């Protein structure tokens, strides 16, 4: 009798472990937020519940040919907070695993010098499901055209709906005395940034709506158009893009065929070569794949565009491009 009871207990424990594992892998997960990129919506150290049923459990995420989703629910929607594997983490450095290998390469073009090799460490490849996870707000869906002008986001030529928690840097254009009055009236606790005798504050759209200040005295602080930032996607100085002025960028849909050429390959090369495992070679004015000339490419996956709410301190699609569908983990339920 005792043996039978013990056996039943073991069976129930085993069943519970299996159910818990399946729920974790394909259903829901509690995730701790590691960075401040989503402040003032979600703060570093907070926990959020991730619903993996949106867009659905993924299978064969490491193989773009076999990748599939079990569509038990719906697709992610605009402005939902999504969790995904970091697309630039297909390669990491042994001595700096928490940093973007490709960003470090862009910042230090000669990082492979023999004198630095010991400092950087060896490169380590990571499969999709092993790459670090990030959390951002979904701004662009497959088939959308992204444009950022003077710090404002446009989707398909229309102003995007921004979350009230979206933070920007704002410049005070009034006098010193007026600024002190403004800070006191609005109970602003943050220490302003001072640059060229000007005050700058990081405020959300919700905070801006509540502020008692003439609109002409507080304006969005943006980088001028045409000043290139070499760390902004697609990392081409001749485009003159920066985080406040970039685009248009088109997000491919699965099964969509797009014309590609040496003039636009920099938008799609990483998608095709790394995420979809199809080699591309540029020879003069021609493109080749497996030594075959090509002028069109049919994408295997959907691609998405994401931003952090804390825009001045967010490492997001502006700096590394689109998120492939097989990198999506789920949607945050609490926001």
pLDDT tens digits for range 93-111:
888 877 888 888 888 776 6
Range among 44-58, 175-189, 202-216, 315-329 with highest mean pLDDT value? 315-329
Per-residue pLDDT at 76 exceeds 90 = yes
Residue 243, domain member (yes or no): no
Give the Cα separation of 315 and 306 in Å (integer). 10
CA atoms of 100 and 24, how far apart (whole Å): 27
Number of domains comprising the chain: 1
Q: Domain for residue 205, yes or no?
A: yes
- Least confident stretch, 62-66, 200-204, 299-303: 200-204
Q: Is the confidence at residue 114, as pLDDT, over 60? A: no
Residue 186 lies in a domain: yes
Burial string for 43-63 (b: 16+ CB within 10 Å, else e) reads eeeeebebbbbbbbbbeebee
Does any domain span residue 177?
yes
189 falls within a domain: yes
Q: What pLDDT, on the 0 to 100 scale, is given for residue 335?
A: 55
pLDDT tens digits, residue range 252-307? 999 999 998 888 889 999 999 999 999 888 887 778 888 888 899 999 999 999 99
How deeply is 237 buried, as exposed, middle or buried, from its count of CB atoms within 10 A (0-12, 13-18, 19+)?
exposed
pLDDT value, residue 278: 92
Q: Is 3 part of the annotated catalytic residue set?
A: no
- Burial (0-12, 13-18, 19+ Cβ within 10 Å), 245: buried
Structural domain span for residue 192: 167-220
- Tokens found for residue 270: 């990483």
List, for residues 13-55, the tens digit of each pLDDT value. 655 555 555 455 556 688 777 776 776 677 777 888 888 888 9
**Confidence band (pLDDT; 50, 70, 90) for 320?**
very high
pLDDT band at 4 (very low <50, low <70, confident <90, very high): low
Per the domain annotation, does 61 fall within a domain?
Answer: no
Quote the percentage of the chain above a pLDDT of 70.
86
Please check whether residue 209 lies inside any domain of the structure. yes
pLDDT above 60 (res 213): yes
Per-residue pLDDT tens for 123-133? Answer: 889 999 999 99
Q: How many CB atoms lie within 10 A of CB 247?
A: 17
pTM recorded for the entire structure:
0.87
The answer to whether residue 136 is catalytic is: yes
Of 40, 52, 100, 136, catalytic: 136
Q: Which one from 37, 61, 168, 243 is the annotated catalytic residue?
A: 37
Residue 242 lies in a domain: no
> Could you give the CA distance from residue 141 to residue 144 in angstroms, rounded to a whole number?
6
């Amino acid at each position: 009798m005792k043996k039978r009871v013990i056996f039943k207990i073991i069976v129930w424990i085993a069943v519970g472990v299996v159910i818990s594992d399946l729920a974790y892998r394909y259903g829901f997960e509690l995730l701790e937020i590691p960075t401040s990129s989503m402040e003032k919506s979600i703060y570093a150290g907070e926990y959020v519940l991730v619903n993996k049923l949106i867009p659905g459990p993924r299978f064969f995420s490491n193989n773009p040919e076999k990748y599939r989703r079990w569509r038990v629910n719906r697709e992610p929607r605009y402005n939902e907070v999504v969790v995904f594997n970091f697309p630039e983490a297909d390669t990491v450095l042994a001595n700096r695993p928490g940093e973007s290998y490709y960003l470090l390469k862009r910042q230090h073009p000669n990082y492979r010098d023999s004198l630095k090799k010991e400092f950087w460490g060896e490169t380590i490849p990571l499969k999709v499901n092993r790459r670090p996870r990030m959390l951002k707000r979904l701004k662009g869906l497959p088939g959308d055209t992204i444009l950022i002008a003077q710090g404002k986001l446009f989707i398909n030529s229309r102003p995007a709906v921004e979350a009230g928690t979206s933070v920007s840097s704002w410049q005070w254009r009034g006098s010193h005395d007026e600024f002190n009055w403004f800070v006191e009236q609005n109970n602003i606790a943050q220490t302003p940034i001072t640059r060229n005798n000007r005050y700058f504050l990081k405020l959300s759209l919700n905070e801006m709506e509540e502020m008692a200040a003439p609109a002409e005295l507080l304006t969005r602080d943006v980088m001028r158009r045409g000043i290139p930032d070499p760390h902004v996607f697609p990392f081409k100085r001749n485009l003159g893009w920066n985080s406040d002025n970039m685009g248009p960028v088109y997000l491919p849909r699965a099964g969509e065929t797009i014309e590609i050429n040496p003039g636009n390959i920099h938008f799609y090369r990483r998608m095709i070569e790394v995420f979809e495992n199809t080699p591309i070679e540029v020879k003069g004015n021609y493109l080749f794949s497996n030594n075959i000339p090509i002028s069109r490419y049919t994408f295997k996956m959907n691609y998405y565009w994401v931003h952090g709410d804390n825009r001045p301190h967010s490492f997001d699609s502006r700096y590394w491009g689109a998120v492939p569908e097989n990198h999506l983990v789920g949607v945050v339920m609490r926001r």
